[in-house]
Structure formats: structure tokens, C-alpha cells
Amino acid sequence: MASNEHSALDNTQLHVPKDFSSASANTVLTKNGSNALTWADDNSRRMQHIRVAGFFSKSSTAEHAPTFAGGSTHVYDTVVTDSTADAQDAVAQAQLYATRAGYINAFAGVIACTSGKTINLKVYKGTPADASAAAINLTQLGATATETGGGNTNVDLFAAGSMGSSASFSAGDVIIVTISAGNTDATVARFNGTLEIVYTD
């Protein structure tokens, strides 16, 4: 038996896997569909999915968020302003407090809305300060998702465009989803969507 078995080598004598030096950051070595080793994006281990769902019934074009967030269905009944009306608004309205930097890879879902009425859905980020009552400036991430309702028995799909690495946020940011009517006519909507988050650190 050889005296220099690989398992007995000192750590300083071990090498990194094949093609490590040319592999992109945040990739993992995996076996692809052709049974070859390849370096693939590691998004699946850096990704989080957050359910965002709610009920909206307003005759106003103001943007609304839920009074409290936390992963279940909520009534979207508090107005969101930029800057926020006060710091506590962001606490009550946010769907996520980011502990790491990343970006919104997608925001999509299903919606049922009053026939012929337009609904807009937006995603914002803001940065609260510790021990501060200051209002929080909001920045929209990606594009607005706009749908025109087909009535009580109709379901539409929605998706916010321009998401991905450009829709980035920092550790310490809050993420707020808003919904608004396209005009001041009475508009009722129910929606169930998913925020797809990718962390970059």
C-alpha cells in the first residue's frame, strides 16, 4: 500500500477541486444532467421565499400596507407615505427585516379584483435607524405590477418586472409591499404572492 495516501496528507498539501480558480463566486461543485462535474450557481442555498397576501377594499389611489405583517393574510388598510409617516409605520408594515444584504429576485402571485378596476402592487426598501423616531425614506425596488380585475370569479397572475440584482437591499433594511387602486372608484382585491429573496453575503 502506498505510504502517501491522500487521506493522510497534511491540510497544506491538499488542493482545491478541479476548476476552482476559474469558478465564479457563490457557486458550488455539482453533477449536472450530463453526469459531468460543473460549478453551478448556489442561489438555492442563499434563497428565501416570503408569502405576501392580503385583502384590499378602498376608494383611494393611496398606497396601502397591512397594519401588522408576519406571513399570514392581512387587511391592507394603512396608508404608506414616502417618507413614512413615522418610524413605527415601517415596523408595522414591513414583510421582512433583512439581516443580510441581497436582492429581490422576483415578486409574483395571483390576484382577484373588482371587474374593470386596476390594481398596482409595489415593493419598497427603507433603512430604519436604531433608537430613532425619524421617518424612513423609501426606495421602490423593481417595477410596478399592474393588473385589471376580471371580477369575483376571475383570477389574474401578476409579476413585478425589473427584479434581480438591481433590486438590491442592505442588511438592516425593511421590505414593504404596497397595494393601491388605479382610480378613486370602489375597488376590492385579494392577492397571494411570493417575494423571492436572494442573499449575497
pLDDT of residue 44: 66
What pLDDT is stored for residue 68 in this prediction? 65
Is residue 125 a contact partner of residue 173, using CB atoms and an 8 Å limit? yes
pLDDT by residue (tens digit) across 37-60? 888 777 667 899 999 999 999 999
Q: Where in the chain is the domain with CATH 2.60.120?
A: 48-199
Question: Within 13 Å of residue 139, how many CA atoms lie on the same side as its CB?
Answer: 13
Looking at residue 43, its pLDDT comes to 66
Please check whether residue 122 is in contact with residue 160, taking contact to mean a CB–CB distance below 8 angstroms. yes
Position 116 scores a pLDDT of 96
What's the Cα-to-Cα distance from 173 to each of 37, 50, 90, rounded to whole Å? 37, 15, 10
Q: Please give the average per-residue pLDDT across 187-199, as a whole number.
A: 96
| Class of domain 48-199 (CATH, top level) | mainly beta
User: How do residues 72-131 score in pLDDT, each as one tens digit?
Assistant: 558 998 899 998 887 888 888 899 999 999 999 999 999 999 999 999 999 999 999 999
Distance CA 114, CA 131 (A): 42
pTM here is 0.82
Arithmetic mean of pLDDT over the chain:
89
Residue predicted with more confidence, 19 or 159? 159
Decide if 104 contacts 167 (C-beta within 8 A). Answer: yes
Report pLDDT for 28: 80
Q: Among the listed ranges 35-39, 53-57, 162-166, 196-200, which one has the minimum average pLDDT value?
A: 35-39
